[in-house]
Amino acid sequence: MAVSSARGMRDFLPRDKEHRDQVLGSIETTYHRHGFESIETPAMEDFDTLHSGLGGDNEKLSFHVHKRGLSTEDIQAASSPDDLSDLGLRFDLTVPLARFYATNHGALPTVFRSFHTGPVWRAERPQKGRYRQFVQADIDTLGEPSTLAEVEILLATADALDRLGVEGWNFRINDRRLLSEVLGAAGIDPADHPLAMIVIDKLDKIGVEGVLGELAERLAPGWSRPRIEAILGGSPEGFDADGIATMMGDTPTSHAVAHELVNWVSQVSTLLDAGVVVFDPTLVRGMGYYTSSIFEISHPELAGSLGGGGRYDEMISRFLGRDVPAVGMSLGFERLLEVIPPLEVESLDKVALTYDGEAPSPHLMPIKMHLVSTGHQVRLVPQSRNMRAVFERLALDGFSRVAEVSSETANAESLHWRDLE
């Protein structure tokens, strides 16, 4: 019988795991240099926390954990499957962060910069590039009301991507308030704005005519097709505040927001390469908790984004009872692995020691421990009839040298090394 990992989840061989750890380590080191501090939260949260209305459609993809000790009567009496669960696996890191801050805010600085990484789980339909368990790497700034938070997060993220050698990416930027203004100017009822944004978010999949057609089907008549068609056609040249404001509703609010947006984006763009930051009038971001700035990282080799985020000033109040300014960026770790070149990192010299039954542990281990203490990674390998296959396996696993240990080997200095390259 063939045995494999659960559908939509994966095993990682040692070389793959080492590469993943190197990439994550580079990201962590960079974010720490920018002042973000690591936190850790549990894999599971209370069911009510995960289903507090903050996770959007991801709440529907949550893996539920049934209550302990359920009886047949309990199951039969339940009005829905939700009644049988009290816990769930986290589907992202933002909701757990909001709960974490509400729980621990008294022990945190007024402005808290968080680095938060780990696996998350979603009951997706598995397909290429989409898994049920995957890793996210998030940075968030909590407690900073000014756009300094946006500037700092984008620059730290740019630094992380550059240190990994990622090329060709850019930041796509928009603001939820601008989207609301253009929808209002188009005559779309505010109650239908969430629906309209969901449809506009499908632009990459169904095209301009598909978006306009679906809006015509799902919205009450009377809205302005030309106003929406204008934003679907692309962005104005450069980051021009008046041009953005005119496109996005041409209202006093759109002009005020556009000037604020251009002000903080210009601080980012002046420190990065030209063209790295672009305005995208159709950028929506799927989560309903975003209150103003939103951003994504696009890459020419990927259909989806490398990551994204935005400002969510009203989210933490669901748990804490008061608003806390918050901005975050999440890197899609699995997609990131698809576009980074091999990392050049310093690692321990990997060497192997082969041995037979005449080299007992009390003789073998002091030699190994000496090599470990002098900066080597050491693998012990029992000798076999086919040593050629053993050496090929060691070379494939990244080992540079091998030496034989016998009962006659006096110490590590007397080893005779064979290169495996």
Domain end point (choices 266, 289, 312): 289
Are 9 and 78 members of one domain?
yes
Residue 251 confidence (pLDDT): 95
- CB distance 47 to 95 below 8 Å: no
Higher pLDDT, 370 or 57: 370
Residue 149 confidence (pLDDT): 95
Domain end point (choices 250, 269, 289): 289
Residue 346 has pLDDT above 70, yes or no: no
Are 343 and 356 members of one domain?
no
Are 92 and 104 members of one domain?
yes
Residue 74 confidence (pLDDT): 72
Strand order in the sheet with 44-46: 44-46, 85-89, 64-66
If you average pLDDT over residues 398-405, what whole number do you get? 90
Q: Compute φ and ψ for 168, nearest 5 degrees.
A: 85, 0
Residue 344 confidence (pLDDT): 64
With cut-offs at 50, 70 and 90, classify the pLDDT of residue 104.
very high
Residue 26 confidence (pLDDT): 93
Asked whether the CA dihedral 176, 151, 276, 297 is positive or negative, the reply is negative
- CB distance 399 to 392 below 8 Å: no
Place of tokens 């063209």: 275
Are 279 and 306 members of one domain?
no
Domain assignment present for residue 294? The answer is no
Are 162 and 130 members of one domain?
yes
- CB distance 117 to 314 below 8 Å: no
Are 165 and 190 members of one domain?
no
Domain hosting 364: range is 349-419
The model's pLDDT over 127-178, given as tens digits with 9 standing for 90+, comes to 777 889 999 999 999 999 999 999 999 999 999 999 999 999 999 999 999 9
Q: Can you spell out the DSSP letters for 284-338?
A: --S-TT--SEEEEEE-TT-SS-SEEEEE-TTSTHHHHSS---EEEEEEEHHHHHH
Residue 345 has pLDDT above 60, yes or no: no
For the chain, what is the domain count? 3
Domain assignment present for residue 341? The answer is yes
How many other CB atoms are found less than 10 A from the CB of residue 26? 17
Whole-number percent of the chain with pLDDT over 70:
97
Are 143 and 30 members of one domain?
yes
With cut-offs at 50, 70 and 90, classify the pLDDT of residue 365.
confident
Domain assignment present for residue 410? The answer is yes
CATH of the domain at 337: 3.30.930.10
Residue 29 confidence (pLDDT): 94
The model's pLDDT over 254-277, given as tens digits with 9 standing for 90+, comes to 999 999 999 999 999 999 987 899
Domain assignment present for residue 278? The answer is yes
Are 164 and 59 members of one domain?
yes
Are 241 and 278 members of one domain?
yes
The model's pLDDT over 212-231, given as tens digits with 9 standing for 90+, comes to 999 999 998 889 999 999 89
| Separation CA 304–CA 8 (nearest Å) | 18
Domain assignment present for residue 336? The answer is yes
If you average pLDDT over residues 175-201, what whole number do you get? 92
Residue 30 confidence (pLDDT): 94
The model's pLDDT over 235-248, given as tens digits with 9 standing for 90+, comes to 777 788 999 999 99
- CB distance 293 to 283 below 8 Å: no
Are 373 and 283 members of one domain?
no
